[in-house]
Chains A and B, each alone.
Chain A
Amino acid sequence: MARIGVFVCWCGENIARTVDVEKVTAAAAEMPGVRCAINYKYMCSDPGQASIREKIQSEKLRGVVVASCSPHMHLKTFRAAAQAAGLNPYLVEMANIREHCSWVHHNKDEATEKAIQLIRMTVGKVLRNHALNPIKVPLTKRALVIGGGVAGIQASLDIADAGYEVVLVEREPSIGGKMAGLSETFPTLDCSQCILTPRMVEVGQHPNIRLYSYSEVEAVDGYVGNFEVTIRKKARYVDIDKCTGCGDCWTKCPSKKNLSEFDQGMGTRTAIYVPFPQAVPARPVIDKEACLHFKTGKCGACQKRCQAGAINFEDEDQLVKENVGAVIIATGYKLYKITDAQNNAKYTGYGEYGYGQYPDVIDGLQFERIVSASGPTGGEIKRPSDGAEPKNIVFIACVGSRDNAKGMTFCSKICCMYTAKHTMLYKHKVHDGQAHVFYMDIRAGGKNYDEFVRRAIEKDGAKYYRGRVSKITQENGKLIVRGTDTLVGEPITVEADMVVLATAMQPADGARELAQKLKVGYDEFGFLSESHPKLRPVETTSAGVYICGACHAPKDIPEAVAQASAAAGKVQVMFGKGELTREPEIAVINEQTCAACYACVRTCPYGAIEKAEIRDRKGNLVKYTARVNQGLCMGCGTCVAVCPSKSADIEGFSEQQIYEMVKNLV
């Protein structure tokens, strides 16, 4: 049975200089189970591989040990060579006699002796190897995209254009995300809505995209290739199939003084509303908290006016299930809310800036709405308190960012750029006004970014002070901003009419809970973790789940879009194959001996072990057992170490294989 071939590589001089390869080959030939042993100058070269293939066939080998470099270097190469000769690739193992031997030991006798021992150990292991086959996992070629901001839109359209179905879930009544509310975008100053809304319409009309607006992901079951997602369609009180979006309902709604979420509280909306005119879907939703029908039971103006009969006050949340093979998370960001942060033990906030106390102290997204042509002021810059045009406006950067003491340690990355943009937009509208910026550093890395900031300073005359603001007070209708210009070394006081805080970016609410449902990691701030910061930037540790946009880290639009296309590309790579194949070197549980203590279930970092039942043909319960989900297991072996009944094992690194290696040490 045991017919093992040992192939000793010289690696040119790299091994042969310090290891006596002839002696090693002779010793290997004498090892129990070894059928033949040869050496060659370069085993990885074509003639070297050919000699392995030839020996596999002529000697009818049942196992191969290649004694050469690190398995990280060439295990795949030699396994492929074996497979070409008809040998199961998982019967091939490597003894690392280069990195772990010839390169680190200079005494030839010692190195030769060690090389022989390493080969003996590996031969012992191969004696216990058995043929494994790649695991095939069925694949549902549909993708779920969570979040309909610019990243989610980009990812959805890419996948849908490639011919695969997409389920897009958006929590708000319309897709569009934060970008839909922006005025103009850096560094080109093109109008945000002009570039985004056509993409939104494309999503709404795409035959391959099923859009769930005003919906949230309730639960996720299954694993890569085979997720079952439960989506909560929140009660909208409007039947969007009947509704034509004519607008009769919201023009007649008597409850008009509700703060508009889309306008960041800078404007108002009715109780039945579409968040903004270009919404997709262009269908309204009723805000139950604001609606007089729900509050008093008397009003029903919208229902009376609606000719389509689309208003349904009896509407309830619905749970729907969708099957998908891959998931992209694109849940985006929110801004650090200083008023909320006051009560948070972790962040002490910036109470001294008077946000939430002085109406004319606002944040960056609120300023976007004020300066936007579609905003509550129609694009005229009017301050919230009295509608006056501010002649002196102060922008404060890094509010909550890069601040160990009161906020977050990270750089929010986009604020330098949007603050420069704000000063320009302001100057373009208030020609006799003056913009003042307090900053820590200007971080304008990006194509045409630094030029943009220089333009704000040199052409549009924004005054930049390198320093922090210590306090803002209100005196005689002015906001007194006290700070320092550290470059000049002087304290500075600006009598401002309005102050805009560039507050830090944070992951959107609920991102952590969603990450837990999808078994994706996140950092201390709640930003989702990529699988590898350099080489796997859109993958997560959860197979089949990808991330893009600001849910991962602070990002601007071009980066979010690029990452979204990358994630969509990864999904297409996966869908391009007929079925999923996975490495078979994963955990396996002996269900006969499993005591069903489920220590492994609790330990598995991937949730890859499930509780299962063994039943006889009549359906009677025989026993409970743990069972490995081959689609999820990554093969770490943590379950093996915790299993008290020794029922868990890892293929390719089995208990027997390792014991055999240890036995051959002496």
Chain B
Amino acid sequence: MSDTNPFEPKIVAYVCNWCTYLGADLAGTNRLEYPSNVRIIRLPCTGRIDFNLVIKAFEMGADAVLVSGCHPGDCHYTAGNYHARRRWMLARPLLETLGIDMRRIHFTWISAAEGRKFQETITEITDTTRALGPYEGYRKLAEASA
């Protein structure tokens, strides 16, 4: 990604170990190509993901963040993904009020069988983030509050 190339976004994907991580593995096994911008961080469960992690990713220069886990009802730990969903419903308006660009936070369910959905999701997020450009807004926001 040299300077002459167009903007390539950095995307962080926080995924659960049991569904989405395996979905990404399946995308690999099936050789489903997608842009190389995503960096997957494996966690036991989406229930573990608090929004500090999302903010931290932006702070470290991410242009978009994906949170993805098991479909409702499929959680390896029974209910972790429901916690994640509830937390998302609560955090969303809060983050919006703070001025976070919500187009850069993605929340989805991808099962271990959905390699193609993983491919499509990453491709789509990369495309939309590429169109949005670098997340300069967060840097400004951080400077303003500093």
Contacts and interface: CB of A to CB of B under 8 A. Distances in A.
Q: Do A and B bind each other?
A: yes
B47 A636 contact: yes
Contact of B21 (A72, A106, A641, A666): A72
A665 interface: yes
B34 A104 contact: yes
B36 A662 contact: no
Contacts of B1: 113
Contact of B83 (A121, A638, A665): A638
A67 to B, nearest CB: 14
A201 interface: no
Contact of B79 (A605, A650, A659): A605
Interface string B71-93: 00000111110011001000000
A70 interface: yes
B53 interface: yes
Contacts of B39: 114, 117-118, 121, 665
A110 B36 contact: yes
Interface string A96-112: 10111101111100110
Interface in A95-149: 96, 98-101, 103-107, 110-111, 113-114, 117-118, 121
Contact of A104 (B28, B44, B80, B83): B28
A152 interface: no
A638 B78 CA distance: 11
A641 B42 CA distance: 15
A653 B36 contact: no
Nearest to A102: B28
Nearest to B16: A636
Contacts of B57: 662, 665
A430 interface: no
Contact of B62 (A98, A107, A665): A665
Given A605-B77, A640-B48, A665 B12 contact: yes
A638 B25 contact: no
Contacts, number: 119
A105 B84 CA distance: 30
A106 B33 contact: yes
B60 interface: yes
A658 interface: yes
A260 interface: no
Given A641-B87, A665-B61, A100 B44 contact: no
A653 B46 CA distance: 12
Interface string A486-530: 000000000000000000000000000000000001000000000
Interface in A400-424: none
Instruction: Decide if the interface of chain B is mainly helix, strand, loop or mixed.
Output: mixed
Contacts of A70: 21, 25, 28
B113 interface: no
Nearest to A112: B36
B47 A104 contact: no
A65 to B, nearest CB: 14
A99 B77 contact: no
A636 B80 contact: yes
A98 B28 contact: yes
Interface string B29-57: 10111111001111111011110010011
A611 interface: no
Contact of A96 (B40, B45, B87): B40
Nearest to B26: A99
A634 B27 contact: no
B66 interface: no
Contact of B27 (A72, A99, A113, A117): A99
A117 B41 CA distance: 12
A635 interface: yes
Contact of A661 (B10, B41, B45): B41
Given A72-B21, A641-B47, A641-B87, A100 B77 contact: no
A639 to B, nearest CB: 9
B28 A650 contact: no
Nearest to A652: B44
A636 B36 contact: no
A638 B87 CA distance: 11
Given A99-B25, A110-B36, A641-B87, A662 B79 contact: no
Nearest to B39: A665
Contacts of B34: 104-105
Given A637-B45, A658-B53, 6 more contacts: A70-B25, A100-B25, A104-B32, A104-B34, A541-B78, A662-B53
Interface of B: 1, 10, 12, 21-22, 24-25, 27-29, 31-36, 39-45, 47-50, 53, 56-57, 60-62, 76-80, 83-84, 87, 119
Give me the 7 closest cross-chain CB pairs, A-B, nearest first.
A99-B28, A637-B48, A636-B77, A638-B47, A103-B28, A641-B50, A636-B45
29 contacts: A70-B25, A72-B22, A96-B40, A99-B25, A100-B24, A106-B33, A107-B36, A113-B1, A114-B36, A117-B39, A121-B39, A121-B41, A605-B79, A606-B77, A635-B44, A636-B45, A636-B48, A636-B80, A641-B48, A642-B83, A650-B44, A653-B44, A653-B48, A658-B41, A658-B53, A662-B12, A662-B57, A663-B60, A665-B61
